[in-house]
Amino acid sequence: MRAMNQSTLVSTVVGALMIVPIFSMTSAVAGEQRTVVVEARSVASEVSVGGSVVPAREITFTAQMPGRVEYLAGDEGGFFKRSTVLVAMDDAELLAQRRAAIAQIGNAQAAQRNASMQFQRELQSPDKKGMFGQMMPGPFGDMMSESKKGIEREADLYSQRTSIEQAQSSLMQAHSRLQQIDAKLRDTRSNAPFDGVIIDKKVEVGDTVQPGQPLVVFADMSRLQLQADVPARLAVALREGMVIGARLDDVADTRIQASLVQVFPMADPTRHTVRVKFDIPKDAPAAPGMYAEVLIPEPGAIGMDLPVIPGKAVFRRGGLPMVKVLNQAGQTELRLVRLGESLGNGKRVVLAGVVPGEKVVVSD
């Protein structure tokens, strides 16, 4: 009985060992995986420079005078049309000054009309006796009045003209005061210069601000750019209109073609870098503040052989790009790789992690 049990046990173990390879082969076929030899391809040398996505137009509204914030159009992310009032300051004091200026204009206009009327009266109906005729009545006064008549008349006319000029100056001064107040009233309102979004709100309703204090940051989100600080040795070969590859820091590691639109004329004296800006395609999955890399071609660099693998061989684990490499023992091992540019047809350049001649696993 014991011998029979041993024979049965041996048969069971042998059968199990024969079944294990069958299951392993079935798993490999079900996964539809294949291996591809890593190629070597001559690729121009490029330098990856970090940058960030920024709006093409961005302005910061600041307070122009001391006062209290009376109105805010909305919070961060709010979209507003052009000419919409974004921030308003308390303007009660300025409105009172404006009413006083309007009253001064009325007084100056009345004084001007009165001076003009007095001049017309003196011109058409002068006082014939004059000063001597009034002080010395009689024939002697009449004689002195006749002799001084021309001088006194000219002096009276000059005095009336002076009154008109003074009234006109007062009126001009009152109008200037009104224009000054209106300019200050315009400074209490911050209007959107274009359609855009509030991306940063610096104050709240009721806050007291001082001149120069930031209020809100407003940006045009319809057009985004990639901004990067490029080493001066690389910037010398850059020209406006060049199309350069860039990579966005998103889940798909999206590659885009960015068009160079601006090269700043002066390098940073501390970091020795030149700021450049690129236009990003409208359909790119980019957002302001996102990290991005731009691949700057190195001037005079000779093409170098770099590993090239199919894009399907790359997968992500923990957000990091990885591949499965078939080692000499026929087993797969995980490798962390640093990806380069896309060459088309689903091929990707690998800057580090694998070498030409190795085999990587591709999932169909």
Nearest to 76 by CA among 262, 225, 201, 256: 201
DSSP code string of 283-347 = TS---TT-EEEEEEEPTTPPPEEEEEEEGGG-EEETTEEEEEEE-TTS-EEEEE-EEEEEEETTE
Q: Binning pLDDT at 50, 70 and 90, where does residue 16 land? A: very low
Q: Which of the following CATH numbers is that of domain 47-57+221-297: 3.40.50.300, 2.40.50.140, 2.40.30.170, 1.10.10.10? A: 2.40.30.170
Nearest to 84 by CA among 214, 220, 194, 199: 194
Report the first-to-last Cα separation within the chain, whole angstroms: 54
**What is the bridge-based pairing of β-strands 46-62 and 67-72?**
unpaired
Tens digit of each residue's pLDDT (9 = 90 or more) over 140-175: 455 555 544 677 777 878 888 888 888 899 999 999
**Mean pLDDT calculated for residue range 292-297:** 86
Tens digit of each residue's pLDDT (9 = 90 or more) over 196-208: 999 999 999 999 9
Distance, in Å, from the CA atom of 256 to the CA atom of 280, rounded to the nearest integer, reads 8
Q: Quote the pTM value.
A: 0.57
Model pLDDT, residue 357 = 87
DSSP-derived letter for residue 219 is: E
Task: Indicate the domain borders of the chain.
Answer: 47-57+221-297, 91-187
Q: Binning pLDDT at 50, 70 and 90, where does residue 364 land? A: low
